[in-house]
Amino acid sequence: MTGKEILQAIIDGRLPHPPISETLTFWLVEIGDGFAAFEGEPGDHLLNPMGTAHGGWAMTLVDSATGCAGYSLVPADAGFRTVETKVNLSRSITSDTGRVRADAHVVSQTRQIISTEARLTSREGRVLAHGTSTLMVVPRANDRGKMTRQKLRIKRVYQPPEAEDGVRVLVDRLWPRGLSRERAHIDLWLKEIAPSHTLRRRFHGDPEHWEDFKTAYYAELEEAPAQSAAGVLLDRLTNEAVTLLFAARDETRNNAVALKEWLDKRAG
C-alpha cells in the first residue's frame, strides 16, 4: 500500500489509529495528495502547571500533520523519516479552547526530500500554532534487510559535483564560506550531525588531538539530535550512494572523515 492508501485506511477504520492518537486525543480526519488534516481535543490531561495545554501537544500535532501530508506522496516500497520540524506557538491553548484542527500541505518535493507546512487553528479560525517539516523518503523498515550497503564517500564541498556522488549531504554546522546554494548542489544539510560548537573549538584542527576529537564526537553521535540524523544516513545507504560534504581544508582529519569511519562500522 502507498502512504496515502495506508492513511485513508486509518480514516476509514480498516486500520487502527496509532496509540499516540488515544494518548494525546487527536486523530487523522482527512487525507489527499500532499494534504493531511488532524483534529484534536485539548482536555485537562494535557495541562501544564500554568493551566494551559503543554506546548508539546501543539508541536506534536503539527509534526503529525506535516508528516502525514508528506507520507501521502510516498510510494508503496518506501517510508519516511522526519529530518527537522520547527513550530511557532502563536496562542495559548486551554481545555476550554475546544476542538482544534491542523491542516498540512506539501510545499515542495524532490525524489528524496519533501517539505511541508501546517497551521493549527481554533473553531473560530484563529491561528494557534504553525510550523514546517522536512522529510526524507527512505526504504520501508521491513525491506532494509534485503538491501545491500551502497557506497559512502567523502568530498570537499568546493569540488565539482559528479554523477557518482549520489545523495550529496553537507555535514558541517556552518554553511561553506563563499559558496552559493546553486553551486553547492546539496541535497540535504544535516547540521544536527555536525560536532557541537564546544567540540569544534576545543579541537580546532589540532592533529595531536585527533583521536580525542573522534572519541568525543562519537559520543555526541549516540545522543539526540545527532542520533536521528545518523539514522537518516544509514537508511539512505541501504538504497543509494551517499557523499558526505565538508568545507575544511584538511582533507584527512575533519568531521566528515570521522563520521564516515563511524558510519562504516555501523553499516557493516
What are the tens digits of pLDDT across the range 212-265?
899 999 998 888 788 888 888 887 887 788 999 999 999 999 999 999 999 988
Q: How far apart are CA 115 and CA 97, in angstroms?
A: 29
> Which amino acid makes up residue 83?
V
Q: Which residue has the cell 487523522?
A: 28
Instruction: Please give the CATH architecture assigned to the domain spanning 3-139.
Output: Roll (3.10)
DSSP letter (8 states) at residue 172: -
- Tell me, what's the pLDDT at 143? 45
- Tell me, what's the pLDDT at 144? 42
In the chain, % of residues over pLDDT 70: 95
- Tell me, what's the pLDDT at 14? 84
- Tell me, what's the pLDDT at 76? 82
pLDDT digits (tens, 9 = 90+) for 203-217: 776 778 889 899 999
Say which range, 39-43, 170-174, 198-202, has the weakest mean pLDDT: 198-202
Residue 138 pLDDT more than 90?
Answer: no
Average pLDDT over residues 93-100: 94
C-alpha closest to that of 69 among 78, 59, 80, 77 = 80
- Tell me, what's the pLDDT at 1? 80
Residue 10 pLDDT more than 50?
Answer: yes
pLDDT digits (tens, 9 = 90+) for 103-137: 999 999 988 899 999 999 999 999 999 999 999 98
Q: What are phi and psi of 104, to 5 degrees?
A: -125, 145
- Tell me, what's the pLDDT at 68? 96
Query: 251-257: which pairs have CB atoms within 8 A and are 24 or more residues apart?
Result: 251/156, 253/205, 253/207, 253/210, 255/171, 255/172, 255/194, 255/195, 255/200, 255/217, 256/154, 256/171, 256/172, 257/154
Asked if omega into 42 is within 30° of 0 (cis), the reply is no
Say which range, 19-23, 94-98, 103-107, 204-208, has the weakest mean pLDDT: 204-208
- Tell me, what's the pLDDT at 205? 64
Instruction: State the burial class of residue 30 (Cβ atoms within 10 Å of its Cβ: 0-12, 13-18, 19+).
Output: middle
